[in-house]
Amino acid sequence: MSLLFKELDYRPTPMGVLSLRRRRDLSLDIDVYEIKLDEEYLMSSLFTDAEIALADLGLAELDRENLDVVVGGLGLGYTAKAALDNPKTGKLTVLDTLPEVIEWHQQGLLPLGDQLSNDPRCALVHGDFFAAALSDTPGMNPDASEKLHDAILLDVDHSPGNVLHETHKRLYTKEGLTKLAKHLVPGGIFALWSTEMPEPWFEENLKSAFDTIRADVITFKHPLIDREDINTVYVARTKA
């Protein structure tokens, strides 16, 4: 295999074939890590601005210390790292439905793996974020099921209207978002990453479940085609 490309792991999963690849981008002179599900790209280390902004914008809304934070979707780990980089974070639970992705981090196959795995504040948990969010159990961390959270940050689907699995759609309904909000403390934050521009139907659903909501459009430079691209971060707060 060429030194310019290496498939680090390849696993069949219930959602499809999951693969982790590393390739050398000669034009940028960097190693690029990519996660694919079948033929669809889920994550690339070339595009991390919005994943970082998800944590930065969500946690900026909270003015207290020792925050209990949940991240839905581990991926390459950039949202989790940004949450840990925030000095207000006291405990971080990262839920991912794919144990393979957690193993990649724990085995050091990904650049942020050692940092996330070795931080005592961070727990990488194999679990279904969507099932937990829609459950009647107060907390989403199975090791602290009675504890509500200060912030829930979600980075799994491409957008509320473009999901990776049909079962995810229920979360983005008014009923689903109302259930998710019950896992947050008063004045708690739910933030969501999306590849699309703000979607009015989803903003209306958020308004039905949260006290205040906003949609921030994130612009970042596409490193390969020399133009700006956009994502959206939704930030919603429960009533204090």
Question: DSSP states of 25-89 as a string?
Answer: ETTTTEEEEEEEETTEEEEETT--HHHHHHHHHHHHT---SSEEEEEE--TTSHHHHHHHHSTTE
- For residue 182, the model assigns a pLDDT of 97
Per domain, the residue ranges of the chain are 47-237
Place of tokens 């004045």: 187
Q: At what angle do helices 174-181 and 200-209 cross, to 10 degrees?
A: 40
State whether the Cα torsion 10-70-170-232 is positive or negative: negative
Asked if residue 122 lies in contact with residue 70, where contact means CB atoms within 8 angstroms, the answer is no
Burial of 138 (0-12, 13-18, 19+ CB in 10 A): middle
Contacts of 166 (CB under 8 A, 6+ apart): none
Output phi, psi for 161, to 5 deg. Answer: -100, -5
pTM value is 0.94
CATH code of the region 47-237 = 3.40.50.150
- For residue 223, the model assigns a pLDDT of 64
- For residue 186, the model assigns a pLDDT of 98
Cα separation of the two ends of the chain: 56
Q: Which residues does residue 221 pair with via DSSP β-bridges, in sequence order?
A: 228
Q: What is the mean pLDDT of each run of 10 residues along the chain (240 residues)?
A: 81 90 89 92 88 96 97 97 98 96 96 96 96 95 90 96 94 98 98 96 98 94 72 97
Asked if residue 197 lies in contact with residue 159, where contact means CB atoms within 8 angstroms, the answer is no
Question: DSSP states of 115-166 as a string?
Answer: HHHH-TTEEEEES-HHHHHTSSSS-SSGGGTT--EEEEEE--SSBTTB-SSG
Helix (H) or strand (E) holding 80: helix 78-85
d(CA 209, CA 207): 5
Contacts of 84 (CB under 8 A, 6+ apart): 92, 115, 116, 119, 121, 122
d(CA 79, CA 58): 11
- For residue 225, the model assigns a pLDDT of 60
Q: Which residues does residue 235 pair with via DSSP β-bridges, in sequence order?
A: 191, 214
